[in-house]
Amino acid sequence: MADTTAPQITLAAETIVSIDPATGEPVGEIDVTSVDRIPQMVRDARFAQRSWSALSFEQRAEILKSAVPRLVEEAPRIGELLTREMGKPKPQGVGEATYCAEGITDEVDAVIEALLPEVLEDEHTNTTLRFDPYGVVAAITPWNFPLLMVFQSVIPALVAGNTVLLKPSEETPLVAREWATVLNEALPPNVLQLVIGDERQGRALVESPIDLVVFTGSREAGKHILREASGGLKRVILELGGKDPMVVLDGADLDRAAAFAARNSFRNAGQVCVSTERIYVESSIADAFTEKLVERADGMKQGPGMEDGVEVGPMINRRQKDHVLRQIEAAIKDGATVFHGGEDGGEGNFVPLTVLGDLRHDMDIMSEETFGPVACVMSVDHADDAVRLANDSRFGLAASVWGDPERAEAVAARMNAGMIGVNRGCGGAEGSPWVGAMESGYGWHSGKYGHRQFCQIRTISRGRSKGEG
Residues that are catalytic: 239, 273
Comparing every residue's Cβ against ligand NAD, the nearest one is: 202
Rounded to the nearest 5 degrees, what angle is found at the Cα of 48, between the Cα atoms of 46 and 54? Answer: 105
Smallest separation (angstroms) from ligand NAD to the CB of 149: 6
Q: Show contacts with ligand NAD in window 49-108 (CB under 6 A).
A: none
Q: Does 203 bind ligand NAD (CB under 6 A)?
A: yes
Position among 305, 313, 341, 436 found at the interface with ligand NAD (CB under 6 A): 436
Size of the site for ligand NAD (CB under 6 A): 31
Least Cβ distance, residue 201 to ligand NAD (angstroms):
7
**CA–CA dist 299, 422 (Å, integer):** 26
For residue 269, the 8-state DSSP code is G
By CB under 6 A, tell whether 239 contacts ligand NAD: yes
Using the contact rule CB under 6 A, the part of the chain among 19-27, 70-78, 239-247, 322-330 near ligand NAD is: 239-247
Residue 224 near ligand NAD by CB under 6 A = yes
Say how far apart CA 429 and CA 277 lie, in whole Å. Answer: 23
Give the separation between CA 31 and CA 394, rounded to whole angstroms. Answer: 38
Q: Is 241 in the site for ligand NAD (CB under 6 A)?
A: yes
Least gap, CB of 52 to ligand NAD (angstroms): 24
Q: Which stretch binds ligand NAD (CB under 6 A): 40-48, 199-207, 283-291, 448-456?
A: 199-207
Minimum CB separation of residue 242 from ligand NAD in Å reads: 6
Q: How far apart are CA 414 and CA 407, in angstroms?
A: 11
- List for the chain the helix, strand, coil content (%; round to 5): 40, 25, 35
Q: Which residues contact 210 (CB under 8 A, 6 or more apart)?
A: 42, 45, 135, 136, 137, 138, 165, 234
Q: Is 395 in the site for ligand NAD (CB under 6 A)?
A: no
Which part of the chain contacts ligand NAD (CB under 6 A), choosing from 60-68, 100-108, 202-210, 278-286? 202-210
User: Which residue pairs, CB below 8 angstroms and at least 24 apart, start in 334-337?
Assistant: 334/360, 334/363, 335/360, 336/363, 336/365
Cα dist from 266 to 71, 145, 409, 430, whole Å: 29, 15, 25, 25
Nearest residue (CB) to ligand NAD, 121 versus 364: 364
Q: Determine which residue in the list 96, 170, 178, 244 makes contact with ligand NAD, applying CB under 6 A.
A: 170
The phi, psi pair for 397, rounded to 5°, reads -80, -75
Whole-number minimum distance, CB 239 to ligand NAD, in Å? 3
In DSSP terms, which residues pair with 312 in a beta bridge?
302
Instruction: Summarize as ranges the residues that interact with ligand NAD (CB under 6 A).
Output: 140-144, 149, 167, 169-170, 198-199, 202-203, 206, 216-218, 221, 224-225, 239-242, 273, 369, 371, 397, 434, 436, 441
